[in-house]
Amino acid sequence: MTDNALPLRVATQREVATKPRVKRHRTKWLSTAIGILLLCIMLFPVYWMINISLQPAGPAIEAAWFPIHAQLNGYVQAFHDQAGNLVTSLLIALGSVVISLVIATPAAYALAQFKVKGVGIVLFGILISQMIPGIVVANALYAAYNDLHLLNSIPGLILADSTAGIPFAILIMRAFMLNIPTSIIEAAKVDGAGNFRAFRSIVLPISFNALITAGLFTFLFTWSDFLFALTLTTTQNVQPITLGIYQYIGTFTADWSTVMAAAVMASIPAIVLLLAAQKFIAAGATGGAVK
């Protein structure tokens, strides 16, 4: 082999080693570009909602693509019209969260840790209840609420929304509680704690992330509920924000700025809660047990 062939071989090996890195680099940039494109597509309705809310009053089809002459008249009008509805939705959502967690937490603990017969049947019944169309439940509740005088009331809407929040919370928290080591609970019982004290002092602190997760999803479901609010309210005395926004929309809706401003205001609590609770949702339920 001549001396001239050695540099050629070294150069060839270097090119072969460089090609995979160049290919991976291009693939990474292509994946990033596709991800950004998909993100823009998904966030465009949110941008358009904010854009319309900052435009002068008028049809949405005539709005500019950018709020060059932004104004807050829509927000002023929406806050004047919907402030009471926002408070109503907040009371209903918080009440549903409290009732759902109070009932679902011990139920999930019993289904996860107690060795009793019929657990599979109970879980199957919970799953079936999640498959029942909401309009069926709403119509059944309307007849019962009419006899119990719970129509057009905040407690009535809290109970109605809890019918969907409790089964979902049970399924979420049971999945978390199945991973709690039984040795921790047994150690507490050896020290003299009963079932309730072990549940209160050991299980609840360990399941804090599960409680936050179940409470957050219950809050989001209740906050965005429209079906129960429309079916179980017949006057304007008690109106959640979803029903308040619905009252804006009609055949001759002209002020889309106020409509979109109300929608933005209704989205803020959900966004804030999601940002604040994301670390609890992502965390494992047994993190406290390990520590």
CB 157 within 8 A of CB 238: yes
Largest Cα–Cα separation, the chain = 102
- Could you tell me the CA-to-CA distances from 39 to 35, 43, 44 in Å, in that order? 6, 6, 8
| pTM for the full predicted model | 0.78
212 and 281 in contact (C-beta within 8 Å)? yes
d(CA 89, CA 53): 21
Contact between residue 82 and residue 192 where contact means Cβ atoms under 8 Å apart = no
Question: Which residues are within 8 A (CB) of 153 and not within 5 positions of it... i.e. 6 or more apart?
Answer: 238
Place of tokens 């809660």: 273
Query: By mean pLDDT, which of 20-29, 72-81, 207-216, 276-285 is the weakest?
Result: 276-285
Closest C-alpha to 170, from 201, 124, 232, 136 = 124
Q: What is the pLDDT of residues 84-95, one digit of tens each?
A: 889 999 999 999
Structure tokens at 263: 């929608």
Beta-carbon contacts of residue 126 (< 8 Å; ≥ 6 apart): 167, 170, 171
Q: How many CB atoms neighbour CB 163 within 10 A?
A: 19
Query: Which has the minimum average pLDDT: 4-8, 124-128, 155-159, 170-174?
Result: 4-8
CA 22 to chain CA mean position, Å? 41
The predicted-structure confidence for 209-246, as pLDDT tens digits, reads as follows: 888 888 888 898 899 888 888 888 888 788 898 888 88
pLDDT of 55: 78
**46 pLDDT above the threshold of 50:** yes
